[in-house]
Structure 1
Amino acid sequence: MPVAPDAAAARPTRRPRRFRTSVALAAVLAVLTTVGLSGCADFSKQDGERNAGPFSKNNESFEITRPPKTPPPPPPNLPSPPPGPCVDPDPNVITTCLASTSAVTPGDDQGNVTVVAERTTGKIIQAKRFSEHKVLWTIPGIDASGDGGLIDFAPSPTYRQDHLMYAFITTATDNRIVRIAQGDVAKPILTGIPKGPTGNLGSMYFRSPTELVVATGDAGNPAAANNPASLAGKILLVTGFTSGVNPAPKVLASGLGSNPALCPSDDAIFVADGTDSADRLSQVSGKSLRTVWSWPDKPGLGGCAVVQDTIAVSTIRTQRIETLIAPTPKKPSVDKPTVVLEKRYGAIGRMRPVGNGLVQFGTVNKQYGPKVVSQDDRVVRFLVPAGGGGEDSKM
């Protein structure tokens, strides 16, 4: 994520329809978590057919974190903390003792409930503070070697009617998007995304009810990211969702590196990823990526989220959240990022906005952290400082 763009290139990508992703997703997930489904997918058949608690420090060096404002208090009348090693006293930790997380999304509009994917187990779990993990879906048959597995998930925009779940997964042969109906095998929607020993991670979200935006990693092969014949290292627009033959996805941008994380705003698509030379935050502009900011020291970007006019970026190696004021056509360049959270929860992965300045993020200490504590991995609720905050902010 870097600098020095030109004003014309900075113009946000025009989106054909404004689909309030966070609002729509929250409404869908409210139904999903209320229904409390449990699903599975059998990939051998498919291809043949065509606990609660919060915070123990991961690192004694802790700097900065809390915005001048404080987040809403935890919900009242919580049950007493259960005994055991999974209890974390930090009130902003929503749930603990997860396998290494991948996607995370709020399960309510206050951010007190989370729906989180475990990359290595294929489980999609609903939880809130001091509650047991409720497994909503289990997707067997995934290949979790390297950094593969359950990469991301998105409930159908019409989940109230169809109860369909979409998942971005790694199998024995490729990375792919599948559609899952309750009690049925998974149906492939998009297959043939290259799989590698690393570089399998990616992300996706519904931009509109008929458009799924997918970011794919380079599968450990940077050359594939710029190869028009490969689906690796691309931002793709998927518009076909049947179990039969679907139209080829449209390529919105090429040249992504490893671990791309999408963070859309109302009028632009931003993406965080890592390349051989630097980690970077980019904006989709035309059919290319315009670098917004880059980190030559490669802190290991884990995720990003747009919160009002601020972009929050999480890091794995340096265990931070950093913020930048989002670029605009009038001010396409950005100032140096501000560190607003450091070394409190360990390695931070994916993030998702809740609203009112809040985000949820998952830790990835079991995959990347130099230190794993008994509460890992966790999902945390965090208030992003307005205007970037800074080192004078107090926890």
Structure 2
Amino acid sequence: MDGMPLPSLLSRRTAAVAVALVVGTSASGCASFADQETTADEGTFSSVPTGVYRPDAPPAPSRPTDEGPPPTGPCIDPNPSVIATCLASTSGLRPADAQGQTTYVAERTTGKIILSKRFGPQRAIATVDVDASGDGGLIDFEMSPTWMQDQMIFALITTPSDNRVVRIAPTGSVKPILTGIPKGPTGNLGSIAFTSPTELTIATGDAGSPSDARNPSSLAGKILTIDPNRPGARPEVEASGLGSNVALCRDATGGRLFVADSGAAGDRLSLVSQKSLKTLWTWPGRPGVTGCATGTDWIAVSVASKKRIDMFGKPTSASPSVSEPSSEDTSKTYGAVGRLTTFGGAYQLATVNKTAPGTKPVGTDDRVAINMPKPPAEDRT
């Protein structure tokens, strides 16, 4: 299966799957953990196989090649690092090959997950109905740990009544995994990531209510873990008190989990440790952190409102803190950058120029591009 070419692999899915998500009426702004246990299944399909977990392995290992002269048209970006163009406002993204030359990227406002490479073609591999008001919509997604075998996608979405995690089968049928995550006019953006074959980590925004983020009975502003193989399983709280625009980034080499968020006391980069958050860096002016990615010795955090990416040296046992970051100005190349995702020694970035305040989209926005990390500052105090 690992040698399967990308077009053959994706032929197992429909090119664009329209999913009608039936929304229950039990969820509310302060829904309880019990809500998920009473939500009916939508569609029938098998459990996620446990298999062998390879968190660094991309969903599709082949690298498509571009043949012939470059095409022309309004969606052709001259920057050779750009691999997706003319997208609706983006949210989560994942590399779709080992070299990062293709990408899976979510359109937050349309509910589509798009497969793209430079010069196209682009293909919607799944579509789910979402409520895209405020900062809600298709917030993030993750391929199953055994994507090559089961072709299942997990997604964090906003409905008219709540935020929730759902599982999308190859046929397009949808099954709720965790419902009742509070929804607000803002503060809906979060992240999901598999941290083991049977553990899905979910970071939720505070839905505009810092008090809910501190409330142990609310799912807002939390880092949660849940076994998606067990319908009705209760999530476990790993950390509380998160703000808005919560972005997870997993340390693939060390297994640690970092998170960037924007809270009432300021934006911050934290390490999830011992059921709490250890703050590594803060931005007191609340510039608006929007994405996070980790490499071998670095952590990158995007700051959309300032049109820059801050680069930190990864904390170690010898140097447990981080120093003042080095910064890359993205205003001329990409504009406002949202989510980030790591592959190899580099990362992909997704722009949010169509929705970020104070931005002026260019003709090829929104885009996904490959970016090489700039060396972080060496001095640590």
TM-score under structure 1 length normalisation: 0.80
For 2:342, the aligned partner's letter is P
1:51-94 alpha-carbon deviations (Å, 9 max, x no partner): xxxxxxxxxxxxxxxxxxxxxxx986544333322121000011
1:93 aligns with 2:82: yes
1:44 aligns with 2:22: yes
Contact 2:23/2:159 (8 A) holds in 1: no
- What is the deviation of 1:297? 2.0
Taking a change above 3 Å as real, the CA distance of residues 283 and 27 of structure 1, as seen in their structure-2 partners, is: farther
Identity of aligned residues (%): 51
For 1:130, the aligned partner's letter is F
- What is the deviation of 1:40? 3.4
- What is the deviation of 1:387? 4.3
> Within 5 Å, which residues of 2 pair with 1:1-395?
33=10, 35-37=12-14, 38-44=16-22, 49-50=40-41, 77-140=66-129, 142-242=130-230, 244=231, 246-265=232-251, 266-343=254-331, 344-355=333-344, 357-369=345-357, 370-387=359-376
Contact 1:224/1:230 (8 A) holds in 2: yes
What is the aligned partner in structure 2 of residue 4 from structure 1?
A: none
Contact 1:115/1:127 (8 A) holds in 2: yes
2: distance between equivalents of 1:29 and 1:275?
A: 40
Contact 2:23/2:161 (8 A) holds in 1: no
Q: Secondary structure in 2 aligned to 1:317?
A: helix
2: distance between equivalents of 1:202 and 1:30?
A: 31
Q: Which runs of 5 or more residues in structure 1 are unaligned?
A: 1-23, 51-73, 390-395
1: distance between equivalents of 2:123 and 2:106?
A: 12
Contact 1:46/1:185 (8 A) holds in 2: no
Q: Secondary structure in 2 aligned to 1:124?
A: strand
1:168-197 alpha-carbon deviations (Å, 9 max, x no partner): 100010000011113353111100000000
Contact 1:40/1:183 (8 A) holds in 2: no
Range with greater deviation from structure 2 (275-284 or 254-263): 275-284
What is the aligned partner in structure 2 of residue 53 from structure 1?
A: none
1: distance between equivalents of 2:281 and 2:318?
A: 17
1: distance between equivalents of 2:112 and 2:40?
A: 24
Contact 1:46/1:186 (8 A) holds in 2: no
Q: Secondary structure in 1 aligned to 2:350?
A: strand
Contact 2:323/2:377 (8 A) holds in 1: no
Taking a change above 3 Å as real, the CA distance of residues 221 and 127 of structure 1, as seen in their structure-2 partners, is: same
What is the CA RMSD across the aligned residues, in angstroms?
Answer: 2.5
2: distance between equivalents of 1:373 and 1:128?
A: 19
- What is the deviation of 1:165? 1.4
Range with greater deviation from structure 2 (131-140 or 108-117): 131-140
Instruction: Count how many residue pairs are aligned between Structure 1 and Structure 2.
Output: 338
- What is the deviation of 1:167? 0.8
2: distance between equivalents of 1:240 and 1:178?
A: 9
1: distance between equivalents of 2:294 and 2:175?
A: 32
